[in-house]
A and B are shown apart, each in its own frame.
Chain A
Amino acid sequence: MIIDLLEAISRWAIPVIVLGIPLWGLVRGVRVYETFVEGAKQGMAAAVRITPYLIAMFVAIRVFRVAGGMALLLKAVTPFTDMLGIPPEVVPMALIRPLSGSGALSMLGELLHTYGPDSLVGLTASTIQGSTETTLYVITVYFGAVGVTRARHSLPVGLWSDLVGFLAAVFICNWLFGS
């Protein structure tokens, strides 16, 4: 019941907002069309500003991935993840997550297909996906939009909280769904 409601809110949030904002604007006497165009112009400039940052990050991540860098990284962390009792199946997905959202999502799809969505691996992988973020992409895009090149502690904080989210997801799922 509550879950259906949450899902409905998530599904209808965008249409309701897209209707609600101009409606509220009209009521408050805002020239909605002209104002929209003015804002959209700023948005366009922002999208152009993030382009060089995205190219830099995309190329570096792709070169690393196609050359087998992820496999090497996986080999390096396996002793630690084994020690902590983390299911080895979900580790590659967790490693790719901060770098590539689409990469992690396609790996989740594969895991759900191979192990079943209601298996411990499937449940854990699903929870990891929701409790971590494409940190490198968010930092690239957000700071790129305003030309910030000195991100200070943002990157380590983002990666650290991804690690904590990942570990929390693994332990919560083990505790709730583990046999």
Chain B
Amino acid sequence: MINWIWFILLAGGILLAAYNNDAALVTDAILEAAADAITLVIGLLGLISFWSGLMEIAEKSGLTALFAKLLRPFTSRLFPDIPPEHPAMGAVVLSISANILGMGNAATPLGIRAIEKLDELNSEPGTASDAMCTFVAVTTSSLTVVPITVIALRAAAGSTDPAKIIGPTLAASAISTLTAIITDRAWRRPISRRR
């Protein structure tokens, strides 16, 4: 599916530009977007390295394992394929927590760290494992308790009650996360059986 989305975005854009007879638009966009990707990576490079370093301390000191243990009743049901003692479980739990707390900048590095640990358990490199799919499903459905960026934007726009959206956001994101978990489960069963 990702191949098709990628191709449709690219081909659709170029065909539209051709329809409007504006080739420069495409060439400029390619140049700018490629450069923007590098700018983003440079910003992420420091941040990912920092959080990876911190997480290494958390793992070596047994903190992630402790954290994972506390939430085991919940996580062992969500991720039956991850051995409870494996560092992947702690990393996954920390990454999801960072997302829930709205720690935007730290959430991506923690997520990368977690998926690297999940890859150690992956029997088929290059193909997403069941646990990876569940983890990504939970992350992309964004369970949010404190949407801090949105609250800040609302305050800046002169809202009389910037935090008014916390309740509705929690409810709507809980619905979408639940949907993601259920869909992920329902979808993967037939695939695993086929193997």
Contact B140 A135 (CB under 8 A): yes
- The residue that B13 contacts in the complex, of A35, A69, A132, A155, with Cβ under 8 A, is A69
Residue of A nearest to B6 (CB): A60
State whether the Cβ of A84 lies closer than 8 Å to any Cβ in chain B.
Answer: no
> Is B71 in contact with chain A by the CB < 8 A criterion?
no
Q: Is B78 an interface residue (CB 8 A)?
A: no
Contact with A along B49-60 (1 / 0, CB 8 A): 111111111111
Contact, CB under 8 Å: B172 / A46? no
Q: Which residue of A lies closest to B25 (CB)?
A: A66
Count of chain B residues near A, Cβ 8 A: 109
What is the CA–CA distance of A136 and B30 in the complex, to the nearest angstrom?
A: 18
Q: Report B's interface with A, CB cutoff 8 A.
A: 1-2, 5-6, 9-10, 12-17, 20, 22, 25-26, 28-30, 32-34, 36-38, 40-41, 44-45, 48-63, 98, 101-103, 105-106, 108-109, 111-113, 115-116, 118-119, 122, 125-128, 132-133, 136-137, 139-142, 144-151, 153-154, 157-169, 171-173, 175-177, 179-180, 183-184, 187-188, 191
B133: which of A17, A113, A141, A154 is its contact (CB, 8 Å)?
A154
Q: A residues near B, CB below 8 A?
A: 3, 6-7, 9-11, 13-14, 17-18, 21-22, 24-25, 27-28, 30, 32, 35-44, 46-48, 50-51, 54-69, 72, 105, 108-109, 112-113, 116-118, 122-123, 126-133, 135-136, 138-139, 141-143, 145-158, 160-162, 164-165, 168-169, 172-173, 176
Complex-state Cα separation, A91 to B20, whole angstroms: 24
Least distance between B12 CB and chain A CB atoms (Å):
5
From A21, A128, A138, contact of B140 by CB (8 A): A138
Contact present for B33 and A153 (CB under 8 Å)? no
Question: Is the CB–CB distance between A145 and B33 below 8 Å?
Answer: no
Which of A39, A40, A55, A64 has most B Cβ within 10 Å?
Answer: A39
20 A-B Cβ contacts within 8 A? A25-B58, A39-B52, A40-B50, A46-B112, A55-B37, A58-B33, A58-B36, A62-B36, A66-B13, A69-B13, A105-B153, A127-B168, A132-B176, A136-B5, A139-B136, A142-B111, A143-B128, A148-B127, A154-B128, A164-B179
